[in-house]
Amino acid sequence: MGFYSRHVLPHIIDLAMRNQETARLRAAWIPKARGEVLEVGVGSGLNLPLYSSEVQRVLGVDPSLELQRMARKRMPERPMKVEFLTQSAEEPLPVADASMDTVVVTWTLCSIRDPQKALEQMKRALKPSGLLIFLEHGRAPDPGVAAWQDRLNPVWKRVAGGCHLNRKIDGLIATAGFRVIELKTFYLPGPRPMTYTYQGLAQAA
C-alpha cells in the first residue's frame, strides 16, 4: 500500500463522507439498527454516534487501520460496546452464522473489490429475522448518466480508493440472496455520475 493510500486517502474519505446530505441520510437510517450490529466498511466511524440505545454492540469491519484510528475518536457517548476488525469483508468474518441482528453498509459496496463475496459474508452473519441497512451510491437509471459512469469509472477507481461509480446496488444485494424490502433511489445534489443513491432495507430471502 503506497503513501497516498495509507496517509492521504483516509483523510480524503473522512472529509468526503462528512457533509450535510450524507449526515441527513445517516440520521434517517442508522437509528433503525438493533441489537448486535455488524458494520461493514466502518471507515472513520461517522455512523457510530447515531446508533440508538437499542444497539448493544457494534462490530466494525474495515481493512484500513488509519480509518479505524479516526473511528476510535468517534465512539458514542453512551455505553455501547464497539469492536473493530481490521480485515476485508470479502474474507471469512470471525462471527457465527445467523448471529447478527443488523448489518449496516454505507457507501462501501462501491469500494469492495468483490462486493458479492462481502455480501455473502453479511448474509451468513445475519439472523433470518435480521435487517440489512444499506446506503450507497451506484449506477444511475438514466442511460446518459450511466454511460458517463462507465466512461469515468476506470480513472475514478484509481483516484478514489477503488470506488466504482457504476454498480447496480439493489441488483448486487438481491443476487447475494437478500430480499430488498424497502428501497429509495434518487440523485443527491452534485455531479450526477457520483450521486445516484440507493438507500433501503433488506432481509435474507
Ligand X SMILES: C[S@@+](CC[C@H](N)C(=O)[O-])C[C@H]1O[C@@H](n2cnc3c(N)ncnc32)[C@H](O)[C@@H]1O
Which residues of the chain form contacts with ligand X (CB under 6 A)? 13, 17, 40-41, 43, 46, 61-64, 67, 88-90, 106-108, 111-112, 118
Return the number of the residue (52 or 86) whose C-beta is nearest ligand X: 86
In contact, 194 and 138? CB cutoff 8 Å: no
Residues listed for the chain: 205
- Shortest distance, CB of residue 44 to ligand X, whole angstroms? 6
Q: Which is nearer to ligand X, 38 or 180 (CB)?
A: 38
Strand order across the 196-204 sheet: 81-85, 55-61, 35-40, 100-106, 126-137, 196-204, 178-187
Residue nearest to ligand X as judged by C-beta position = 43
Minimum Å gap between C-beta 143 and ligand X is: 26
Tell the smallest beta-carbon distance from residue 120 to ligand X (Å). Answer: 13
Which residue bears the cell 433501503? 200
Give the shortest CB-176-to-ligand X separation in angstroms.
Answer: 14
Q: Give me the least distance between CB of 86 and ligand X, in Å please.
A: 10
Residue with Cβ nearer ligand X (102 or 108): 108
Nearest residue (CB) to ligand X, 119 versus 146: 119
Q: Check the CA dihedral 122-126-107-9 and report its sign.
A: negative
Cβ proximity to ligand X: between 134 and 148 the closer is 134
Alpha-carbon distance of 50 to 126, in angstroms, equals 21
Angle at 27 between CA 180 and CA 195, to 5 degrees: 65
**Cβ–Cβ under 8 Å, residues 60 and 84:** yes
Residue 156 and residue 160: Cα distance in Å, rounded?
Answer: 6
The amino acid at 167: R
Place of cell 469509472: 153
Closer of 29 and 178 to ligand X (Cβ): 29
Residue 20: which of 189, 198, 195 has the closest Cα?
A: 189
Nearest distance from C-beta of residue 106 to ligand X, angstroms = 4
